[in-house]
Amino acid sequence: MPRGGPALVSWGAMAKTQALTPQSEDFSAWYNDIVYRADLVDLSPVRGSFVIRPYGYALWEHIQRELDVMFKATGHENLSFPLLIPMSFFEREAKHVEGFSPELAVVTHAGGKELEEPLAIRPTSETIFGELYSKWVQSYRDLPLLYNQWCNVVRWEMRTRPFLRTAEFLWQEGHTAHASAEEALEETRRMLDIYATFAEQFGAVPVIRGEKTEGERFAGAQMTLTIEAMMRDTKALQTGTSHYMGENFARAFDITFNDVNNQQAFAHTTSWGFSTRFIGALIMTHGDDRGLILPPKLAPHQVVVVPIYRANDGDARELVMAEVRHLEDALRSQGVRVKVDDRDGISPGWKFNEWERKGVPLRVELGPRDVGEGTAVLADRLSGDKRSVRLEALPDTIGQELEAFHQALYDRAVVFREEHTFEANSYDELKEMVEHGFVYATHCGDPESERIIQEETKATVRCIPLEGPSAEGTRCVHTGRESGYPRKVVFAKAY
Distance set, CA 277 to CA 163, 166, 194, 442, 475 (Å): 5, 9, 17, 29, 35
Count up the domains in the chain and report the number: 4
* Residues sharing a CB contact under 8 Å with residue 457, sequence separation 6 or more, in sequence order: 430, 431, 434, 491, 493
Would you say residue 69 lies in a domain? Answer: yes
Give me the pLDDT at residue 157, please.
86
Is 195 in the same domain as 65?
A: yes
Is 16 in the same domain as 78?
A: no
Is 394 in the same domain as 445?
A: no
Is 243 in the same domain as 358?
A: no
pLDDT at residue 241 greater than cutoff 50? yes
pLDDT interval class at 217 (50, 70, 90) = very high
Give me the pLDDT at residue 351, please.
97
Give me the pLDDT at residue 13, please.
40
pLDDT interval class at 98 (50, 70, 90) = confident
Best CA proximity match to 295, nearest among 207, 362, 196, 208: 362
pLDDT at residue 391 greater than cutoff 60? yes
Q: What are phi and psi of 318, to 5 degrees?
A: -65, -40
For the chain, report the end-to-end CA distance as a whole number of angstroms.
Answer: 35
* Residues sharing a CB contact under 8 Å with residue 56, sequence separation 6 or more, in sequence order: 35, 39, 40, 41, 279
pLDDT interval class at 12 (50, 70, 90) = very low
The rounded distance, in Å, linking the Cα atoms of 162 and 35 is: 7
Beta strands in 181-231 (DSSP E): 208-211, 223-230
Which range of residues forms the domain containing residue 19? 1-37
Query: Tell me: the pLDDT tens digits for 47-95?
Result: 889 999 999 999 999 999 999 999 999 999 999 999 999 999 988 876 7
- Using a 10 angstrom Cβ sphere, with 0-12 exposed, 13-18 middle and 19 or more buried, the burial of residue 58 is middle
Q: What is the domain-level CATH number for residue 397?
A: 3.40.50.800
pLDDT interval class at 19 (50, 70, 90) = confident
Would you say residue 348 lies in a domain? Answer: yes
Would you say residue 451 lies in a domain? Answer: yes
Query: Tell me: the pLDDT tens digits for 170-198?
Result: 999 999 999 999 999 999 999 999 999 99
Give me the pLDDT at residue 82, please.
98
Query: Tell me: the pLDDT tens digits for 421-466?
Result: 999 999 999 999 999 999 999 999 999 999 999 999 999 999 999 9
Average pLDDT in the 386-406 region?
97
Q: What is the domain-level CATH number for residue 180?
A: 3.30.930.10
Give me the pLDDT at residue 16, please.
53
- Share above pLDDT 70 across residues of the chain, in percent, rounded to a whole number: 96
Distance set, CA 340 to CA 305, 308, 323, 354 (Å): 5, 11, 12, 13
pLDDT at residue 15 greater than cutoff 90? no
The average confidence (pLDDT) of the chain is 94
Is 174 in the same domain as 53?
A: yes
Write the DSSP symbol of residue 479. T
Query: Tell me: the pLDDT tens digits for 295-321?
Result: 999 999 999 999 999 988 999 999 999
Is 66 in the same domain as 170?
A: yes
pLDDT interval class at 102 (50, 70, 90) = confident
Would you say residue 43 lies in a domain? Answer: no
Q: What are phi and psi of 118, to 5 degrees?
A: -60, 150
